[in-house]
Amino acid sequence: MIGGGPAGTTAATLLAQKGWQVTLFERETHPRFHIGESLLPMNLPIFEHLGVLDQVAAAGIKKNAAVFTSPTIKAKPTRFPFANALGESPPHAYQIERSKLDKILFDNSHANGVQTLEQHEVIAVSLASDGIHKLQVRDADNNISAWQCRFVLDASGQQSLISKQQKWRIPNSRHTASAVFAHFSGIPLNQGDGSGDINVYWFDQGWMWFIPLGDELMSVGIVSSPDYLKTRKPSESLCDFLGNTVNKSFAARKRFKNGMQLFPAKAVSNYSYTSSQRSGEGFALIGDAHTFIDPVFSSGVYLAMSGAERVVPLVDHWLQGNRLSYTIARKRYERAMTRAVKAFSWFIYRFTTPQMEYLFQNPRNILGVEQAVVSMLAGDVYKSNSVHLRLLVFKFIFFMAGIFGPAKRRKS
Ligand SMILES: Cc1cc2nc3c(=O)[nH]c(=O)nc-3n(C[C@H](O)[C@H](O)[C@H](O)COP(=O)(O)OP(=O)(O)OC[C@H]3O[C@@H](n4cnc5c(N)ncnc54)[C@H](O)[C@@H]3O)c2cc1C
């Protein structure tokens, strides 16, 4: 296993529980900072499956809803409580510092019998079509060792080790985006039941998130086209750029005014991509190692962990030497991931259009359409069910709004 984030640790634990011998290489040491702190309700059954739900609940804060707000003075926040979802998604999720979540998952892998090696970076993978793959691994003392395995899972996140090595990585031409983010103290929480909600605020060039991680800790980030990031003046620090952008939303500005930044702002640029291949003879890619989509719907950790769950049968069949079942499981895995990524992507590509902003700000539950959108927000994206049908109605309404509805975003 290459990588000890949510994807790698989930697959490693589940495979070890099935009795397979798993070695997990992680180049860093947990706990370590990682962005991506807002989880989805559909993560909860996976935590339960892994046996860590209580630990996650203790370390995180309850997220009952997602809230969306336009940038203008008059805009009212629209709240989508997860309890309103159709289907079987749990009524809440968690917000949690990734240093804490990833350590819980990593330690759990170890407790389940995975050989977990931190400060071990996989620097090269040599894939063999019918037998034993070879890995080169560098440790903290710069020693390089050679390893062999019958199945290799790449969960290396945005490093996309195998995908890059094989030249399978394809930038997403439909959606380029960049982000700037940091943690802050001094930003007030929403009241009562909404204190753990994620707040998403539009601004004219993109959107921003406020994710509460505790009474005195808020993750704040902006997402925009890479061109917008280039408008930063030479004299403007990344931190000031982040603050000045937050101030473009009236509602965000009001909450942000006493915010104190806790570490220098970080930036990630041009980050959406996929991989032309996600699996092959005795290997598979999971999580960000194959696809990264814009984080507006907090889908990354869920896609990583749910993908890891779905890859387990594939590994199982391969190791048992059952090639026919392996081929079928591979197809199933590829189809499931394509479907889930597509379900979120349709909304992501249109999220900053005036009509999407309008529909999110003025939701109507005609034929259960609003509830279906809540289900998508909760992560119910794999099945062809009533949610899927109602989302088709939403898409129709969206196109009609494009013809008859608001043509232009109001300026703040
Ligand atoms: C700006 C931004 C905001 C986001 N917000 C959210 C959010 O709110 N909610 C959400 O769910 N998702 C969010 N995401 C996405 C989320 O961060 C990822 O989708 C998620 O972390 C993917 O998990 P993973 O296990 O695939 O990869 P990672 O979490 O990146 O884990 C990969 C691990 O592999 C290790 N590694 C890498 N290369 C090697 C190597 N060669 N050898 C050994 N180890 C290696 C890394 O150190 C790392 O620990 C956001 C992403 C960005 C960029």
Q: Is the CB of 314 under 6 A from ligand 1?
A: no
Pocket test for ligand 1, best of 27, 135, 274 (most atoms within 8 A of CB): 27
Cβ of 72 below 6 Å from ligand 1: no
Q: Can you give the C-alpha Rg of the chain in angstroms?
A: 21
- What pLDDT, on a 0 to 100 scale, did the predictor assign at position 409? 53
How confident is the model at residue 103, as a pLDDT?
Answer: 98
pLDDT on residue 326: 96
**Atom 27 of ligand 1 has which residue's CA nearest to it?**
157
What is the identity of the amino acid at 319? L
Element (H, E) at 396: helix 386-404
CA 121 – ligand 1 centroid, Å: 15
Could you tell which of 156, 176, 213 is best to mutate to test the pocket of ligand 1, judged by most ligand atoms within 8 Å of the CB?
A: 156
Collect the ranges in the chain with pLDDT lower than 70: 405-412
What are the angstrom distances between the C-alpha of 318 and each of 115, 307, 321? 20, 17, 5
Among candidate residues 64, 63, 61, 62, the one with its CA nearest the CA of residue 81: 64
Q: What is d(CA 130, CA 135) in angstroms, rounded to the nearest whole number? A: 16
- DSSP-based three-state secondary structure for 77: coil
CA quadruple 304, 306, 308, 310: dihedral sign: negative
User: Does residue 291's CB lie within 6 angstroms of at least one atom of ligand 1?
Assistant: no
Cβ 26 vs Cβ 106: under 8 Å: yes
The closest-lying atom of ligand 1 relative to the alpha carbon of residue 298 is: 9
Distance of CA 374 from the midpoint of ligand 1 (Å): 24
Establish whether residue 96 lines the binding site of ligand 1, counting it when its CB lies within 6 angstroms of any ligand atom: no
For β-strands 178-185 and 260-261, DSSP reports them as: antiparallel
- pLDDT confidence of residue 368: 86
Cα-to-centroid distance, 119 and ligand 1 (Å): 17
Tokens representing 81 are 């409580």
Least Cα distance to 164 among 27, 288, 19 occurs for 288
Q: Is 127 in the pocket of ligand 1 (CB under 6 A)?
A: no
Give me the DSSP letters along 351-363.
TTSHHHHHHHHS-
Contact 104, 393 (CB under 8 A): no
59/160 Cα distance (integer angstroms): 29
What pLDDT score does 406 carry? 64
Assess whether the C-beta atom of 155 lies below 6 angstroms from ligand 1.
yes
pLDDT at 158: 95
Q: CA-CA distance, 107 to 394, in Å (whole number)?
A: 42
**Side-chain-side CA neighbours of residue 402 (13 Å):** 11
Closest ligand 1 atom to Cα of 28 = 47
Cis before 6 (ω within 30): no
d(CA 59, CA 47): 13
Ligand 1 pocket residue status of 282, Cβ below 6 Å: no
| Straight-line distance from the first to the last Cα atom of the chain, in angstroms, rounded to the nearest whole number | 48
Ligand 1 contacts CB of residue 27 (under 6 A):
yes
Q: How far is the CA of 306 from the centre of ligand 1 (A)?
A: 14
Residue 404's pLDDT is what? 74
Ligand 1 contact via 36 beta carbon (within 6 Å): yes
3-state secondary structure of 178: strand
Q: Which segments of 213-352 does DSSP mark as H helices, in order?
A: 226-229, 238-246, 250-256, 300-319, 323-350
User: For residue 412, what pLDDT is reported?
Assistant: 36
Whole-structure pTM value: 0.95
Structural domains in the chain plus CATH codes: 6-60+96-173+272-345 (3.50.50.60), 178-268 (3.30.9.100), 352-404 (no CATH)
For residue 407, how far is its CA from the centre of ligand 1 (angstroms)? 36
How many residues in the chain?
412
Where do we find the tokens 């290997």? Answer: 283
Instruction: Return the SS3 of 387.
Output: helix
